[in-house]
């Protein structure tokens, strides 16, 4: 079997910069593939050189070229860094990427069109012609599109493409009138991205890619339904034969309560008593009474509708009547932020709220809490429920997407958390009360905590599935 050469294209990747699940996956999946198939896989990652990366990391300059994008001829510097045997390439263009935030700029469409063009254009410069380019979400969705329309010479014609949907809600939608001027797609080419009278870059990637993957098996099925597909159900169903669902994993070396330097005290499943040292320190840090026997419920999330915050807000008054403490970490919709602040003012000895996202505090919260609440309306995969499990904090989730695939209800004695399906405050409250019933039986709870910590959420099995998928795409067995 020939050595598999993969270029993994993403708009963010750990350990350099992450804003969510995409960055976590882009950092950990290639690492897992490299570790498991060291002699059979050469996987490299390509991403933008954001200002934050340039400021913090010593990178090697390896060359430059000019990338054509419609009428523009654009500078492209190429930097690299090797970490644990994986090469990271960084696309340098200060006009597009020397900014304080990765996303949310008026010209994001043009910025990521440039990135997608650069991914293909620099291959001869870096002397790496991959068998497969694996791109992710709408920011690199133009890679398979440009490969089909612009880079179809002999040098490129054998490259296959995989495209992963991390969240179908974000599609890269723009006015059709700028297809040529901004995206370098002529009248003959723009039909691939045209959808409902607009540009839809995600739709184009679904049509152009050889394989479409999603980040859980359940999500792969859900997006054939209009409720989850955000308008793209017809395109998903048209391309259903290309779709694969593979559950994400997490970096279990990084998320490890036995070694995590952020914790007040390290612990493992054989010595969970030290978890309670983290709990009382967390309570003190959050300004809550230090009561070891009161269960602490953690919420760590972007405060947005699809994460289930309407359910949480509507259930909160009743939840706070239970013998619990709640710690919320996140930021997002201003209405949710204000609502939680109001609840904190009213129940200051029962709920603590941090409108922020801080990785250090998040890990202290994962370790110090007893229960983790994640009642998402939709969740392609989710990694927070896996991280909380790693730290022995029992998850309560709604049965959707990757939450359904990773957490099974323990109410009947088996399982690794508590689940509910119907999107009502009553069902959420019922799931919490079932968890509290077990919590009040210390023997049962400690057994459940150890079970939760023993579940393998590493990339081991998922990396094997990706490896098989890549080889099947190339006709290898």
Quick one: average pLDDT of 368-379?
97
Q: Convert the pLDDT of each residue in 298-325 to its tens digit.
A: 999 999 999 999 999 999 999 999 999 9
What pLDDT is recorded for position 476? Answer: 74
Q: Whole-model pTM?
A: 0.92
How far apart CA 427 and CA 431 sit, in angstroms, is 6
Q: Which residue, among 134, 382, 395, 139, has the nearest Cα to 247 in the 3D structure?
A: 382
What pLDDT is recorded for position 104? Answer: 93
Q: Convert the pLDDT of each residue in 184-201 to its tens digit.
A: 999 999 999 999 999 999
Quick one: average pLDDT of 338-352?
97
The domain 4-249+460-473 is placed in CATH, from the list 3.40.50.2000, 1.10.275.10, 3.40.50.10800, 3.30.1330.10, at 3.40.50.2000
Quick one: average pLDDT of 312-339?
96
- CATH superfamily for domain 272-454: Glycogen Phosphorylase B; (3.40.50.2000)
Rg (CA), the chain: 23
Q: Which residue, among 271, 277, 321, has the nearest Cα to 449 in the 3D structure?
A: 271
User: Residue 477: is its pLDDT beyond 70?
Assistant: no
* Cβ atoms of 417 and 394 closer than 8 Å: yes
Quick one: average pLDDT of 255-275?
95
Quick one: average pLDDT of 352-379?
96
User: Residue 1: is its pLDDT beyond 70?
Assistant: no
Do 4-249+460-473 and 272-454 share a fold? yes
Q: Convert the pLDDT of each residue in 4-24 to its tens digit.
A: 999 999 999 999 998 888 999
CA 164, distance to chain mean position in Å, is: 11
Domain positions in the chain: 4-249+460-473, 272-454
Quick one: average pLDDT of 111-130?
97
């Amino acid at each position: 079997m020939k050595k598999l050469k993969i270029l993994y294209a993403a708009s963010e990747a750990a350990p350099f910069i992450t804003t969510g699940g995409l960055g976590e996956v882009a950092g950990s999946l290639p690492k897992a593939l490299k570790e498991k198939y060291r002699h059979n896989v050469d996987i490299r990652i390509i991403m933008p050189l954001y200002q934050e990366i340039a400021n913090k990391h010593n990178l090697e300059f390896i060359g430059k070229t000019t990338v054509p994008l419609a009428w523009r001829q654009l500078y492209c510097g190429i930097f690299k860094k090797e970490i644990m045997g994986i090469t990271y390439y960084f696309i340098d263009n200060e006009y597009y990427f020397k900014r304080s935030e990765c996303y949310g700029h008026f010209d994001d469409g043009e910025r990521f069109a440039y990135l997608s063009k650069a991914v293909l254009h620099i291959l001869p410069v870096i002397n790496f012609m991959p068998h497969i380019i694996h791109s992710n979400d709408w920011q690199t969705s133009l890679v398979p599109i440009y490969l089909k329309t612009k880079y179809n010479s002999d040098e490129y014609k054998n490259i296959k493409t995989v495209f992963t949907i991390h969240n179908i809600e974000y599609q890269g939608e723009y006015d059709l009138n700028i297809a040529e001027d901004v995206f370098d797609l002529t009248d003959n080419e723009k039909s691939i991205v045209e959808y409902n009278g607009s540009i839809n870059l995600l739709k184009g990637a679904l049509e152009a890619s050889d394989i479409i993957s999603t980040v859980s098996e359940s999500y792969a099925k859900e997006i054939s339904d209009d409720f989850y597909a955000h308008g793209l159900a017809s395109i998903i169903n048209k391309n259903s034969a290309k779709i694969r669902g593979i559950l994400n994993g997490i970096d279990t070396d990084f998320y490890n309560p036995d070694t995590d330097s952020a914790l007040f005290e390290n612990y493992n499943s054989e010595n969970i008593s030290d978890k309670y040292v983290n709990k009382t320190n967390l309570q003190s840090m959050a300004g809550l009474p230090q009561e070891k026997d009161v269960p602490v419920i953690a919420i760590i999330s972007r405060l947005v509708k699809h994460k289930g915050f309407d359910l949480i807000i509507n259930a909160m008054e009743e939840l706070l009547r239970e013998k619990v403490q709640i710690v919320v970490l996140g930021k997002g919709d201003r209405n949710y932020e204000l609502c939680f602040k109001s609840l904190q003012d009213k129940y200051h000895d029962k709920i603590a709220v941090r409108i922020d996202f801080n990785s250090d505090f998040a890990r202290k919260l994962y370790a110090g809490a007893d229960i983790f609440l994640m009642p998402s309306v939709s969740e392609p995969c989710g990694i927070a429920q896996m991280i909380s499990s790693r730290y022995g904090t029992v998850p309560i989730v709604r049965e959707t997407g990757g939450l359904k695939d990773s957490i099974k209800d323990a109410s009947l004695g088996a399982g690794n958390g508590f689940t509910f399906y119907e999107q009502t405050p009553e069902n959420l409250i019922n799931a919490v009360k079932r968890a509290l019933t077990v919590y009040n039986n210390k023997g049962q709870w400690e057994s459940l905590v150890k079970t939760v910590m023993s579940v393998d959420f590493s990339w081991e099995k998922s990396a094997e599935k990706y490896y098989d998928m890549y080889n099947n795409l190339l006709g290898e067995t």
